[in-house]
Amino acid sequence: MRRKHPIQNSINVAIFLFLSLLSIFNLYPLLYLLFSSFKNNTEIFYSNPFGFPHLLRVENYINAYKAFNMPLYFFNSALVTAVTVVATIFLALMFSYATARMKWRFAHVSRIYLLVGMFIPAQIVLLPIMIMERNLHIQSSYLAVIIPYVGFQLSFATLVFYGFMRSIPYELEESASIDGANTYLTFFRIIVPITMPAIATVAIFIFLFAWNEFLIALVMISKSSLQTIPLGLLNFSGQFTTDWGGKGAAMVIATLPTILVYFFFSEKVEQAMTVGAAVKG
């Protein structure tokens, strides 16, 4: 077997060390949050700010769960996020299929018009959205945040699905048409299953956006019973004192779903990067 050149070995060692340091740099904030969730204010700010907690204060999690109504905030975030993900993916899939696989006069113009939404900051359109929702009488409701969430994420989802669908051979649809499948059957039985890796990728990004979004929810929701987790975390900050240990526990609870979603869908994200070439082959 050919032995590697010493310079190549040095480069590999340097890359390994760099990636290891980068992993530690990215992982430590999560460990710091986890450690802080078991500490009190004195330990967080004075006696032991960066180390492992001297005592595992499980009461911080109990306090976060009961005293600050985390189940309600968790339910609101889960409901808003689930509806946002499903609605955005469904609408983006249909629009992308119509523009990528069908020929009609304004297909290209419609796609460009929708993609322009990616370059419009949310702060600019908050006031018009508030006026529209007031006229529709949906202020301080789940729809008050779900509709803007879907609108802001539709451009990104369409961009991903359009590029993915363009890589699918047209022979698949021609074969389905010969077998008697109509447009709807071809879409749901052939196109959607092939697009699953891209769907998983888009679902993760939309989930992260909807789960962590703060500004739109802060402006559109005034009822405490409809607040999501980012808004609920404000309740941990009092006028004169803040339970930082309990707040850390609440943030750990809020972070777990995002970690689990990425853990279960990470393989789909990797497949989305390569499956286009595989389909072409």
Q: What is the DSSP letter of 264?
A: H
Token digits for 85?
A: 């993900």
Residue 88 confidence (pLDDT): 96
CA dist 176 and 50 (Å) reads 61
Residue 2 confidence (pLDDT): 52
In 3D, which of 251, 260, 230 has the Cα closest to residue 60?
251
**Residue 226, exposed/middle/buried by CB under 10 A (0-12, 13-18, 19+)?**
buried
**Residue 206, exposed/middle/buried by CB under 10 A (0-12, 13-18, 19+)?**
buried
How far apart, in Å, are the Cα atoms of 258 and each of 40, 128, 211?
A: 26, 31, 8
pLDDT tens digits, the chain, 281 residues: what are they? 455 566 777 788 888 899 889 888 888 888 888 898 898 888 888 888 888 888 888 888 888 777 777 888 889 999 999 999 999 999 999 999 999 888 888 888 988 888 888 888 888 888 899 999 889 888 888 999 999 999 999 999 999 999 888 888 888 888 888 888 888 888 888 889 888 888 988 998 899 899 999 999 988 988 888 999 888 887 666 544 577 888 888 888 888 888 888 777 767 666 655 544 444 44
Residue 239 confidence (pLDDT): 46
pTM over 0.85: no
Residue 274 confidence (pLDDT): 56
Residue 272 confidence (pLDDT): 55
Q: What's the start-to-end Cα distance of the chain, in Å? A: 33
Residue 278 confidence (pLDDT): 42
Residue 3 confidence (pLDDT): 56
Q: What homologous superfamily is domain 58-280 in, according to CATH? A: MetI-like (1.10.3720.10)
Residue 273 confidence (pLDDT): 55
CA dist 237 and 247 (Å) reads 8
**Beta bridge partners of residue 237, listed in sequence order:** 242
